[in-house]
Structure 1
């Protein structure tokens, strides 16, 4: 079977409103149009893979179990709306804070490419024809390091830095506009 391209999605600021260490269903709000954008991408046969840094785990703001419970809720909320995510990858580490194994320099924390490379291996993804949609330079730099050529920066998350703008192939308002751009290619 041939490798398939994917759309890699950052979570906070792309799929849901970024609100400083989202860890509960009560704090999680899908960005308007994000579900419909993922539905459109799935209808066209794209793999959808979430890759997210979750240093709140290392920082002790919430537990890994809290994160996994929220992720399961998000995943089922999307399935109920016709969106099946093909993979969800997260990095619970931080290089300077945290206890035990959570405090470490790793290859999975964006801007390192580890989560993308792991997904590519496990899901047989064609990185050369894939896309990354993120709201920060670290998202786009991870994609560049994984040799993902198409990188879209969305304005729906953090303030855009010059570094992030320079790494982006395109800059759009949100995931909805990113999906329209991808589907028009």
Structure 2
């Protein structure tokens, strides 16, 4: 089996969709990041790596690559020249090198417009081809059915749930597991 086509850095990638661009995060995205990330409605569906309140220091740390590895395929979602969300994946290592875990978020002002469904539709095929993936996984809190619909509309299948897996704002949640797979040959 050929080795994954891992690029050491994805900072030159630009993926265009209908009314949006996926591109690497930049230092000048800080104000846009703070505008959209410091919103409890957004944070409710995300892991605790995404803090609330979301401070200027949190944004600076993220944009400096201290929260996630920005050399991985981690992109800003840009609409009308402004960052309004993000999507990224953490590639597997060793015997899991043909798999990755994906996550995404979108500023509340862009919810309900089908944007994230379109973003995932552009990102996933590129990601799976670029990294030679056979499995792409995403997890969704049980309290976030909109995110689950995004995945289902993009050909992900629900594989089950990790019961009582996440404590978020004092409430225990199941973590729904979705995957898109492509078998060799």
Same fold per superposition (TM over 0.5): no
Structure whose residues are more often strand by fraction = 2
Q: Which has the higher contact order (CA 8 A, sep 6+)?
A: 1
Structure whose residues are more often helix by fraction = 1
Normalised by the length of structure 2, the TM-score is 0.37
